[in-house]
Amino acid sequence: MVEESQIRGFYANKNFFITGGTGFVGLCLIEKILRCIPDVGNVYLLMRPKKGKQISERLEEFPVNPVFEKLLETQSKDIFNKLIPISGDVGSEDLGLSAEDRQILIENVNVVIHSAATLDFEQNLRPTVNINVLGTRRILELCKQIKDLKVMVHVSSAFVNSYLTEAQEKVYDAPAEVESIINVAKKLTDQALNDVERTFLKNHPNTYTFTKHLAEHEVKNCSDLFPCTIVRPTMIVASWKEPVPGWTCSKVGPQGFLMGAAKGVVRRLPQAKENIADYIPVDVVVNQLLVAGWHAATEKPGLTVYHCSTSTQKPFRWVMLDSVINRMLHNYPLQSAVWYPHLEFVSSLWLFRISAIFVHFFPAILLDMLLRITGGRPILFRLHKNVWNSLSRLEPFIFTEWRFYNDNTRELAEKLNKRDSELFFINISSIMWEEYFVNLHLGVRKYLNKESENKLPAARNKQTVLFALHILWQVMIMSLLWYLLACCLGRTFIQTAWAPPVIYFLYTFL
C-alpha cells in the first residue's frame, strides 16, 4: 500500500495567499502547488499592473510560461482557474487592497507565503525599508485579521547574516531599532539618506541584507500570535529536478554569466574558485517553503528558522568544474553566439580588470562597430562597463566564503515519510554538481537564450567559424603588441623575434 503524503493532505482544500508570485521562486511555487497538490483550494496572488498590462492580462500569460509545460501534460488549462489575482502592492499602504479584496482574503485564506521583496543592492533605504520592512509588516497586519490562518511562511535570505562567515538557524539581534530606521527613511532626502546610510548599515554590505534582517524581526514579533516560520535560501539557481532539470527564468548569479559566456561575451570572471559557493536549486527552495509551512502549522510551536543551503551539507566549489565548463560550452553552443566561447576564472578584481581590457572591451568595441554598420544596437561596451562599475559593490559576495548551517532543515528532512521525501524533497545531499551544471547550462540555453535542440547543428557550424575568427583576432592583437614593442625598442621585427612567445606567455595569464 502506497504511503499517503501528509503534506499534500494538509494543504488539500486550503487557500493560499502568495506575494511575489510572478518572480523566479513564485512561479516555481505556483507550478508545484498546482501539480503536486491537486486538491488545493484557491491561490490568491498579490499582483500589480505592469508595463501597461492589467493583472488579469498578466495572469493570462501563465499558461504559456515554460514553467507550466509539465503541469499541462496532465492537466487542462482549467487548472489555472484556481489562480485568483488580487490587485495590490506590498509597497503601498494597506497593501493597496480594496476593501472588498481585503475582506475576501480575511474570510478565505489559510496559508500565507510572503516572498515579495526588492533585491536591488544599489537602492537606498527609502524603497528597501518600504518594501522589505514595511511590506512585511503590512502582510503581518493582514495575517492578524485572517480568520482561519494556519501558517505564515516568510521568505528571507541566508545573507541577512552575511556579516558573519558562519551563521546558525536563528534570528540574530536586530542591526538597528526599526522605528528609527523607518522614520529616517520617510523623512530624509535621498542625498541625506545616502550620506548617513553607511552609519546605519554598519557591517551589513547593502540595504537589501540590512532591511531583510529587520523584516525577520517583524515576523518574530508575531510568532506568538499565529504559526510562523522563516526560510532563508542562499543564492537561488535553476531547478535540480522539477518541473524539469535546468528550468530557470532568472539571470542572476551563475545563470547570468553562463548566458553571457555561451554567447562568447563573458570570457573572464572574478571568482575565488577554491571557496565554497552556496547555491540552492529553486525547486528545493519551493519544497522547503511548503514543508516548513506544514511543519509549523501541525507540529512545531514557536518560530523556527530554516537555512535552505548547501555549504555545510553538499558544498560546491567552482574548481570542481575547471575541466568541464568550457567543454560544456562547446558541446552545446549557441547559434546566437557573437564570439567563440571560452571562460576563465581570475582570482582578484585587479587581475580581472586588466584581463577585461583585452578580452572584453577590445572585442566589444569591434563588435559594437559591426552592429552599427549592420544597423544593430551597440550594447556590448555598455554591458561590460556596467559590470566593471558594479564589481566593487559585488566584491564581498564574490570572494567571501560562508557556511550556513542547516541542522533544522536536515532534521525536518528526516521527519518526512517516504512519500513526502519523494514529492517534497529538501535533502540536497545526493546532488551531483557536475551533472547539475550541465543541466543548468542547457536550461539557460533553452529558457534564457531561447534556443531549441534543433538549432545545435547550425550552432556548431557557426562555432567553427567563430573559432577561426577568434584565432585570427588573437594573432592580430599579438602582432599589434609585437609591433608596438619593436617601435618602443627601436628594433625590427626580426630583431625582436623573441617577443611573440613572451607576449603569448603573458597573454595566457589574462
pLDDT tens digit string along 46-88?
Answer: 998 887 788 888 888 899 999 999 999 999 999 999 999 999 9
> Are 318 and 412 contacting, i.e. CB atoms less than 8 angstroms apart?
no
As a whole number, mean pLDDT of residues 108-119 equals 94
Structural domain harbouring 461? 456-510
398 falls within a domain: no
Q: Which tens digit of pLDDT belongs to each residue from 282-335? A: 999 999 999 999 999 998 678 999 999 999 999 999 999 988 999 999 999 999
Q: pLDDT confidence of 92, banded at 50, 70, 90?
A: very high
Query: What pLDDT does residue 418 have?
Result: 94
423 falls within a domain: no
- Picking from 248, 252, 254, 255, the residue whose alpha carbon sits closest to that of residue 67 is 248
Which residues lie closer than 8 Å to 16 by C-beta, 6 or more apart? 33, 40, 41, 42, 43, 44, 109, 110, 111, 112, 113
DSSP 300: -
Give pTM, 2 decimals: 0.92
C-alpha cell at 477: 592583437
- As beta bridge partners, residue 86 has 46
DSSP 316: -
490 falls within a domain: yes
480 falls within a domain: yes
d(CA 332, CA 337): 11
As a whole number, mean pLDDT of residues 469-493 equals 86
243 falls within a domain: no
Query: What pLDDT does residue 46 have?
Result: 96
Task: Provide the sign of the torsion angle of the four alpha carbons 215, 221, 225, 228, taken in this order.
Answer: positive
As a whole number, mean pLDDT of residues 375-385 equals 82
488 falls within a domain: yes
Percent of the chain exceeding pLDDT 90 equals: 65
Q: Which tens digit of pLDDT belongs to each residue from 402-456? A: 999 999 999 999 999 999 999 999 999 999 999 999 999 999 999 999 998 899 9
C-alpha cell at 191: 542625498
388 falls within a domain: no
213 falls within a domain: no
Q: Mean pLDDT score of the chain, rounded to an integer?
A: 91
Into how many domains does the chain fold?
1
The residue ranking higher by pLDDT, 383 or 101, is: 101
